[in-house]
Structure 1
Protein backbone atom coordinates (compact mmCIF):
# COMPACT_ATOMS: atom_id res chain seq x y z
CA UNK A 1 0.00 0.00 0.00
CA UNK A 2 2.90 2.35 0.58
CA UNK A 3 3.55 2.97 -3.14
CA UNK A 4 0.31 4.92 -3.61
CA UNK A 5 0.27 8.68 -3.18
CA UNK A 6 -0.88 9.77 0.29
CA UNK A 7 -4.55 10.72 0.44
CA UNK A 8 -3.84 13.05 3.35
CA UNK A 9 -0.52 14.82 3.69
CA UNK A 10 1.21 15.22 7.03
CA UNK A 11 0.50 18.61 8.59
CA UNK A 12 3.50 20.93 8.75
CA UNK A 13 4.66 21.33 12.34
CA UNK A 14 4.15 25.11 12.17
CA UNK A 15 0.46 24.49 11.36
CA UNK A 16 -0.28 22.13 14.26
CA UNK A 17 -2.13 23.85 17.13
CA UNK A 18 -0.12 24.23 20.33
CA UNK A 19 -2.11 21.71 22.42
CA UNK A 20 -1.77 19.02 19.76
CA UNK A 21 1.91 19.85 19.27
CA UNK A 22 2.54 19.41 23.00
CA UNK A 23 0.78 16.02 22.91
CA UNK A 24 3.00 14.98 19.99
CA UNK A 25 6.28 15.77 21.73
CA UNK A 26 7.06 12.08 22.52
CA UNK A 27 6.23 11.06 18.93
CA UNK A 28 9.34 12.28 17.19
CA UNK A 29 11.98 10.30 15.35
CA UNK A 30 15.73 10.52 15.96
CA UNK A 31 15.89 13.68 13.83
CA UNK A 32 13.27 15.41 15.99
CA UNK A 33 10.55 15.20 13.31
CA UNK A 34 7.02 14.10 14.20
CA UNK A 35 6.29 10.63 12.81
CA UNK A 36 4.22 10.75 9.62
CA UNK A 37 1.26 8.92 11.09
CA UNK A 38 0.84 11.46 13.87
CA UNK A 39 1.55 14.47 11.66
CA UNK A 40 -1.14 13.17 9.29
CA UNK A 41 -3.68 12.67 12.06
CA UNK A 42 -2.87 16.18 13.28
CA UNK A 43 -5.27 17.37 10.55
CA UNK A 44 -7.91 16.74 13.25
CA UNK A 45 -6.00 18.00 16.29
CA UNK A 46 -8.70 17.56 18.94
CA UNK A 47 -9.38 13.96 17.92
CA UNK A 48 -5.64 13.29 17.77
CA UNK A 49 -5.10 14.46 21.34
CA UNK A 50 -7.90 12.24 22.60
CA UNK A 51 -6.71 9.27 20.54
CA UNK A 52 -3.19 9.64 21.94
CA UNK A 53 -4.49 9.29 25.50
CA UNK A 54 -5.88 5.84 24.73
CA UNK A 55 -2.87 4.97 22.57
CA UNK A 56 -0.52 5.90 25.41
CA UNK A 57 -2.26 3.38 27.63
CA UNK A 58 -2.09 0.64 25.01
CA UNK A 59 1.56 1.23 24.16
CA UNK A 60 2.95 2.46 27.46
CA UNK A 61 0.76 1.20 30.32
CA UNK A 62 -0.37 -2.10 28.86
CA UNK A 63 -0.35 -5.02 31.33
CA UNK A 64 0.54 -7.57 28.63
CA UNK A 65 4.23 -8.42 28.39
CA UNK A 66 5.86 -6.13 25.79
CA UNK A 67 6.89 -9.11 23.65
CA UNK A 68 3.29 -10.38 23.58
CA UNK A 69 1.93 -6.94 22.77
CA UNK A 70 4.33 -6.56 19.86
CA UNK A 71 3.49 -9.99 18.41
CA UNK A 72 -0.19 -8.99 18.49
CA UNK A 73 0.52 -5.62 16.82
CA UNK A 74 2.66 -7.18 14.11
CA UNK A 75 -0.01 -9.79 13.41
CA UNK A 76 -2.60 -7.01 13.02
CA UNK A 77 -0.26 -5.15 10.68
CA UNK A 78 0.09 -8.31 8.59
CA UNK A 79 -3.66 -9.04 8.59
CA UNK A 80 -4.35 -5.46 7.45
CA UNK A 81 -1.28 -5.27 5.19
CA UNK A 82 -0.41 -2.00 6.93
CA UNK A 83 3.26 -1.61 6.02
CA UNK A 84 3.90 1.53 8.06
CA UNK A 85 2.62 -0.18 11.22
CA UNK A 86 4.62 -3.32 10.39
CA UNK A 87 7.92 -1.53 9.88
CA UNK A 88 7.54 0.73 12.90
CA UNK A 89 6.76 -2.20 15.19
CA UNK A 90 9.48 -4.46 13.82
CA UNK A 91 11.91 -2.12 15.56
CA UNK A 92 9.97 -2.18 18.82
CA UNK A 93 9.46 -5.96 18.66
CA UNK A 94 13.17 -6.56 18.19
CA UNK A 95 13.89 -4.51 21.33
CA UNK A 96 11.29 -6.65 23.15
CA UNK A 97 13.10 -9.87 22.21
CA UNK A 98 11.06 -10.99 19.20
CA UNK A 99 13.47 -12.64 16.75
CA UNK A 100 13.59 -11.89 13.04
CA UNK A 101 12.60 -15.51 12.44
CA UNK A 102 9.45 -15.01 14.49
CA UNK A 103 8.73 -11.72 12.75
CA UNK A 104 9.06 -13.34 9.31
CA UNK A 105 6.79 -16.20 10.45
CA UNK A 106 3.87 -13.95 11.41
CA UNK A 107 2.51 -14.25 7.88
CA UNK A 108 2.13 -18.04 8.14
CA UNK A 109 1.39 -19.17 11.67
CA UNK A 110 0.74 -22.77 10.65
CA UNK A 111 4.28 -23.14 9.36
CA UNK A 112 5.86 -20.97 12.04
CA UNK A 113 5.77 -23.32 14.98
CA UNK A 114 4.47 -20.79 17.49
CA UNK A 115 3.50 -22.66 20.63
CA UNK A 116 1.97 -22.01 24.01
CA UNK A 117 1.08 -18.48 24.96
CA UNK A 118 2.27 -16.95 21.67
CA UNK A 119 0.03 -19.28 19.66
CA UNK A 120 -2.98 -18.49 21.84
CA UNK A 121 -2.43 -14.72 21.64
CA UNK A 122 -2.04 -14.83 17.87
CA UNK A 123 -5.16 -16.99 17.49
CA UNK A 124 -7.05 -14.52 19.68
CA UNK A 125 -5.81 -11.64 17.54
CA UNK A 126 -7.07 -13.38 14.40
CA UNK A 127 -10.47 -14.08 15.95
CA UNK A 128 -10.88 -10.55 17.30
CA UNK A 129 -9.99 -9.02 13.94
CA UNK A 130 -12.19 -11.41 11.94
CA UNK A 131 -15.20 -11.66 14.23
CA UNK A 132 -14.88 -9.03 16.98
CA UNK A 133 -15.31 -11.94 19.38
CA UNK A 134 -13.55 -14.97 20.86
CA UNK A 135 -14.86 -18.53 20.89
CA UNK A 136 -15.34 -20.16 24.31
CA UNK A 137 -12.43 -22.60 23.99
CA UNK A 138 -9.95 -19.86 23.13
CA UNK A 139 -11.35 -17.63 25.86
CA UNK A 140 -10.69 -20.39 28.39
CA UNK A 141 -7.11 -20.82 27.15
CA UNK A 142 -6.57 -17.07 27.53
CA UNK A 143 -8.24 -17.04 30.95
CA UNK A 144 -5.93 -19.82 32.14
CA UNK A 145 -2.86 -17.70 31.26
CA UNK A 146 -3.82 -14.07 31.77
CA UNK A 147 -5.39 -11.90 34.42
CA UNK A 148 -8.47 -9.78 33.86
CA UNK A 149 -6.54 -6.56 33.16
CA UNK A 150 -4.35 -8.36 30.64
CA UNK A 151 -7.41 -9.74 28.85
CA UNK A 152 -8.91 -6.27 28.65
CA UNK A 153 -5.59 -4.90 27.40
CA UNK A 154 -5.47 -7.62 24.74
CA UNK A 155 -8.84 -6.48 23.36
CA UNK A 156 -7.77 -2.82 23.63
CA UNK A 157 -4.50 -3.55 21.82
CA UNK A 158 -6.24 -5.29 18.95
CA UNK A 159 -8.82 -2.48 18.69
CA UNK A 160 -6.27 0.33 18.88
CA UNK A 161 -3.90 -1.12 16.31
CA UNK A 162 -6.69 -2.21 13.98
CA UNK A 163 -7.78 1.45 14.00
CA UNK A 164 -4.21 2.59 13.37
CA UNK A 165 -3.91 0.10 10.49
CA UNK A 166 -7.12 1.44 8.96
CA UNK A 167 -5.83 5.01 9.17
CA UNK A 168 -2.50 3.99 7.61
CA UNK A 169 -4.17 2.21 4.73
CA UNK A 170 -7.08 4.58 4.13
CA UNK A 171 -4.91 7.71 4.20
CA UNK A 172 -1.97 5.99 2.41
CA UNK A 173 0.55 7.06 5.05
CA UNK A 174 4.11 6.47 3.87
CA UNK A 175 6.93 5.34 6.13
CA UNK A 176 9.77 7.74 6.87
CA UNK A 177 13.09 6.87 5.18
CA UNK A 178 14.60 5.37 8.35
CA UNK A 179 11.58 3.09 8.77
CA UNK A 180 11.29 2.31 5.04
CA UNK A 181 14.91 1.11 5.14
CA UNK A 182 13.67 -1.97 7.00
CA UNK A 183 11.68 -3.11 3.94
CA UNK A 184 14.58 -5.16 2.59
CA UNK A 185 15.54 -6.54 5.98
CA UNK A 186 12.11 -7.55 7.32
CA UNK A 187 9.51 -7.01 4.60
CA UNK A 188 5.81 -7.25 5.32
CA UNK A 189 4.86 -10.81 4.33
CA UNK A 190 2.39 -11.01 1.47
CA UNK A 191 -1.16 -12.00 2.39
CA UNK A 192 -2.01 -15.68 2.36
CA UNK A 193 -3.44 -16.99 -0.89
CA UNK A 194 -7.22 -17.59 -0.69
Structure 2
Protein backbone atom coordinates (compact mmCIF):
# COMPACT_ATOMS: atom_id res chain seq x y z
CA UNK A 1 0.00 0.00 0.00
CA UNK A 2 1.26 3.44 -0.89
CA UNK A 3 2.44 5.57 2.03
CA UNK A 4 0.78 8.67 0.58
CA UNK A 5 -2.59 8.91 -1.14
CA UNK A 6 -2.87 8.87 -4.90
CA UNK A 7 -4.35 12.26 -5.70
CA UNK A 8 -7.14 12.78 -8.18
CA UNK A 9 -7.00 15.57 -10.75
CA UNK A 10 -9.42 17.71 -8.73
CA UNK A 11 -6.97 17.53 -5.78
CA UNK A 12 -4.27 19.52 -7.59
CA UNK A 13 -4.26 23.02 -9.07
CA UNK A 14 -5.61 23.07 -12.61
CA UNK A 15 -2.22 24.02 -14.10
CA UNK A 16 -0.75 20.74 -12.74
CA UNK A 17 -3.53 18.32 -13.65
CA UNK A 18 -2.00 17.23 -16.94
CA UNK A 19 1.16 16.21 -15.06
CA UNK A 20 -0.70 13.30 -13.46
CA UNK A 21 -1.12 11.69 -16.89
CA UNK A 22 1.59 9.74 -18.68
CA UNK A 23 2.15 11.19 -22.14
CA UNK A 24 3.11 7.71 -23.38
CA UNK A 25 0.25 5.78 -21.79
CA UNK A 26 -2.36 8.55 -21.88
CA UNK A 27 -3.55 7.71 -18.37
CA UNK A 28 -2.73 8.79 -14.81
CA UNK A 29 0.10 6.79 -13.25
CA UNK A 30 0.48 6.03 -9.56
CA UNK A 31 3.93 7.60 -9.46
CA UNK A 32 2.58 10.94 -10.67
CA UNK A 33 -0.51 10.70 -8.48
CA UNK A 34 1.69 10.09 -5.43
CA UNK A 35 3.99 12.97 -6.33
CA UNK A 36 0.87 15.09 -6.88
CA UNK A 37 0.65 15.50 -3.12
CA UNK A 38 3.25 18.23 -3.77
CA UNK A 39 2.31 19.69 -7.17
CA UNK A 40 5.37 21.94 -7.36
CA UNK A 41 7.70 18.96 -6.83
CA UNK A 42 5.71 16.93 -9.37
CA UNK A 43 6.13 19.75 -11.90
CA UNK A 44 9.84 20.05 -11.20
CA UNK A 45 10.46 16.32 -11.47
CA UNK A 46 8.43 16.00 -14.66
CA UNK A 47 10.42 18.85 -16.18
CA UNK A 48 13.72 17.33 -15.08
CA UNK A 49 12.83 13.84 -16.29
CA UNK A 50 11.54 15.26 -19.56
CA UNK A 51 14.86 17.02 -20.07
CA UNK A 52 16.73 13.79 -19.39
CA UNK A 53 14.65 12.08 -22.08
CA UNK A 54 15.09 14.73 -24.72
CA UNK A 55 18.48 16.23 -23.85
CA UNK A 56 20.64 13.32 -22.65
CA UNK A 57 22.35 13.01 -26.03
CA UNK A 58 21.28 9.39 -26.39
CA UNK A 59 19.04 7.63 -28.89
CA UNK A 60 15.74 6.26 -27.57
CA UNK A 61 17.25 2.77 -27.48
CA UNK A 62 20.31 3.79 -25.52
CA UNK A 63 18.30 5.98 -23.14
CA UNK A 64 16.06 3.02 -22.33
CA UNK A 65 19.01 0.66 -21.90
CA UNK A 66 20.52 3.05 -19.34
CA UNK A 67 17.21 3.40 -17.48
CA UNK A 68 16.74 -0.38 -17.43
CA UNK A 69 20.28 -0.96 -16.15
CA UNK A 70 19.84 1.64 -13.41
CA UNK A 71 16.40 0.50 -12.28
CA UNK A 72 17.62 -3.10 -12.24
CA UNK A 73 20.67 -2.08 -10.20
CA UNK A 74 18.56 -0.33 -7.57
CA UNK A 75 15.90 -3.05 -7.64
CA UNK A 76 13.01 -0.71 -8.39
CA UNK A 77 10.19 -2.83 -9.81
CA UNK A 78 7.97 0.12 -10.66
CA UNK A 79 10.41 1.88 -12.99
CA UNK A 80 11.74 -1.41 -14.39
CA UNK A 81 8.18 -2.42 -15.29
CA UNK A 82 7.35 0.93 -16.88
CA UNK A 83 10.56 1.01 -18.90
CA UNK A 84 10.39 -2.60 -20.08
CA UNK A 85 7.21 -1.56 -21.86
CA UNK A 86 8.79 1.65 -23.15
CA UNK A 87 11.89 -0.28 -24.29
CA UNK A 88 9.72 -2.68 -26.23
CA UNK A 89 8.06 0.31 -27.85
CA UNK A 90 11.41 1.58 -29.15
CA UNK A 91 12.33 -1.83 -30.58
CA UNK A 92 14.30 -3.46 -27.78
CA UNK A 93 13.48 -7.17 -27.64
CA UNK A 94 12.97 -9.27 -24.52
CA UNK A 95 16.29 -11.11 -24.94
CA UNK A 96 18.12 -7.79 -24.81
CA UNK A 97 16.07 -6.66 -21.80
CA UNK A 98 16.85 -9.94 -20.03
CA UNK A 99 20.57 -9.47 -20.77
CA UNK A 100 20.40 -6.08 -19.04
CA UNK A 101 18.66 -7.66 -16.04
CA UNK A 102 21.46 -10.22 -15.76
CA UNK A 103 24.20 -7.63 -16.26
CA UNK A 104 25.40 -9.45 -19.35
CA UNK A 105 26.79 -6.46 -21.17
CA UNK A 106 29.11 -8.52 -23.37
CA UNK A 107 26.00 -9.22 -25.45
CA UNK A 108 26.05 -5.56 -26.55
CA UNK A 109 28.32 -3.77 -28.97
CA UNK A 110 31.31 -2.02 -27.42
CA UNK A 111 29.65 1.40 -27.32
CA UNK A 112 26.50 0.16 -25.57
CA UNK A 113 28.47 -2.04 -23.15
CA UNK A 114 30.64 0.95 -22.22
CA UNK A 115 27.53 3.09 -21.79
CA UNK A 116 25.86 0.56 -19.48
CA UNK A 117 29.00 0.02 -17.40
CA UNK A 118 29.43 3.77 -17.06
CA UNK A 119 25.80 4.29 -15.98
CA UNK A 120 26.19 1.65 -13.28
CA UNK A 121 29.47 3.17 -12.11
CA UNK A 122 27.64 6.50 -11.80
CA UNK A 123 24.85 5.13 -9.59
CA UNK A 124 27.32 3.08 -7.54
CA UNK A 125 29.44 6.18 -6.95
CA UNK A 126 32.40 4.41 -8.51
CA UNK A 127 33.29 6.46 -11.59
CA UNK A 128 37.05 6.49 -11.92
CA UNK A 129 39.34 7.95 -14.54
CA UNK A 130 39.19 4.73 -16.57
CA UNK A 131 35.37 4.86 -16.70
CA UNK A 132 35.40 8.53 -17.58
CA UNK A 133 38.01 8.06 -20.29
CA UNK A 134 36.07 5.14 -21.80
CA UNK A 135 32.81 7.10 -22.02
CA UNK A 136 34.46 10.27 -23.36
CA UNK A 137 36.03 8.26 -26.18
CA UNK A 138 32.49 7.60 -27.41
CA UNK A 139 30.48 10.65 -26.33
CA UNK A 140 31.10 14.38 -26.12
CA UNK A 141 30.99 16.31 -22.83
CA UNK A 142 27.36 17.30 -23.30
CA UNK A 143 26.28 13.68 -23.67
CA UNK A 144 28.47 12.56 -20.73
CA UNK A 145 26.68 15.08 -18.51
CA UNK A 146 23.35 13.86 -19.92
CA UNK A 147 24.23 10.21 -19.29
CA UNK A 148 25.34 10.84 -15.71
CA UNK A 149 22.21 12.92 -15.03
CA UNK A 150 19.98 10.27 -16.64
CA UNK A 151 21.49 7.52 -14.49
CA UNK A 152 21.29 9.49 -11.25
CA UNK A 153 17.91 10.98 -12.10
CA UNK A 154 16.32 7.56 -12.45
CA UNK A 155 18.13 6.26 -9.36
CA UNK A 156 16.68 9.20 -7.43
CA UNK A 157 13.21 8.63 -8.86
CA UNK A 158 13.44 4.98 -7.83
CA UNK A 159 14.35 6.02 -4.30
CA UNK A 160 11.37 8.37 -4.14
CA UNK A 161 9.05 5.64 -5.43
CA UNK A 162 10.37 3.22 -2.80
CA UNK A 163 10.07 5.79 0.00
CA UNK A 164 6.46 6.54 -0.93
CA UNK A 165 5.54 2.87 -1.46
CA UNK A 166 4.19 3.50 -4.96
CA UNK A 167 2.48 0.40 -6.32
CA UNK A 168 2.36 -0.91 -9.86
CA UNK A 169 -0.83 -0.33 -11.81
CA UNK A 170 -0.69 -3.89 -13.15
CA UNK A 171 1.12 -7.16 -12.56
CA UNK A 172 4.93 -6.89 -12.57
CA UNK A 173 6.45 -7.88 -15.92
CA UNK A 174 9.36 -9.59 -14.14
CA UNK A 175 13.09 -9.01 -14.08
CA UNK A 176 13.46 -11.29 -17.08
CA UNK A 177 10.38 -10.60 -19.18
CA UNK A 178 11.14 -13.31 -21.71
CA UNK A 179 10.46 -16.04 -19.13
Common fold, TM-score beyond 0.5?
yes
SS at match of 1:72: helix
The answer (yes or no) to whether the contact 1:20–1:45 under 8 Å persists in 2 is yes
Residue among 118, 129, 147 paired with 2:112: 118
> Quick one: structure 1 residues 150 and 94, their matched pair in 2 at CA, closer, same or farther if it must change by over 3 Å?
same
Please tell me whether residue 138 in structure 1 is matched to residue 125 in structure 2: no
**Structure 1 residue aligned with 2:4:** 8
> Quick one: structure 1 residues 28 and 134, their matched pair in 2 at CA, closer, same or farther if it must change by over 3 Å?
same
Q: Once the 2 structures are TM-superposed, how far is the Cα of residue 108 of structure 1 from its aligned partner?
A: 2.1
Q: Once the 2 structures are TM-superposed, how far is the Cα of residue 107 of structure 1 from its aligned partner?
A: 2.5
Please tell me whether residue 45 in structure 1 is matched to residue 39 in structure 2: yes
Q: Once the 2 structures are TM-superposed, how far is the Cα of residue 62 of structure 1 from its aligned partner?
A: 2.9
Q: Once the 2 structures are TM-superposed, how far is the Cα of residue 19 of structure 1 from its aligned partner?
A: 2.0
Residue among 157, 175, 179 paired with 1:188: 175
**Structure 1 residue aligned with 2:14:** 18
Q: Which runs of 4+ in 1 moved over 6 A?
A: none
SS at match of 1:90: helix
Task: Please give the alpha-carbon distance, in whole angstroms, between the structure 1 residues aligned to 2:24 and 2:115.
Answer: 30
Q: Once the 2 structures are TM-superposed, how far is the Cα of residue 153 of structure 1 from its aligned partner?
A: 0.6
The answer (yes or no) to whether the contact 2:49–2:153 under 8 Å persists in 1 is yes
Aligned residues: 176
**Structure 2 residue aligned with 1:147:** 140
Q: Once the 2 structures are TM-superposed, how far is the Cα of residue 150 of structure 1 from its aligned partner?
A: 0.9
Please tell me whether residue 62 in structure 1 is matched to residue 53 in structure 2: no
**Structure 2 residue aligned with 1:80:** 74
After superposition, the CA RMSD in angstroms is: 2.0
**Structure 2 residue aligned with 1:192:** none
Q: Once the 2 structures are TM-superposed, how far is the Cα of residue 92 of structure 1 from its aligned partner?
A: 1.2
Query: TM-score if structure 1 supplies the norm length?
Result: 0.82
Task: Please give the alpha-carbon distance, in whole angstroms, between the structure 2 residues aligned to 1:111 and 1:56.
Answer: 27
SS at match of 2:137: helix
Task: Please give the alpha-carbon distance, in whole angstroms, between the structure 2 residues aligned to 1:35 and 1:68.
Answer: 24
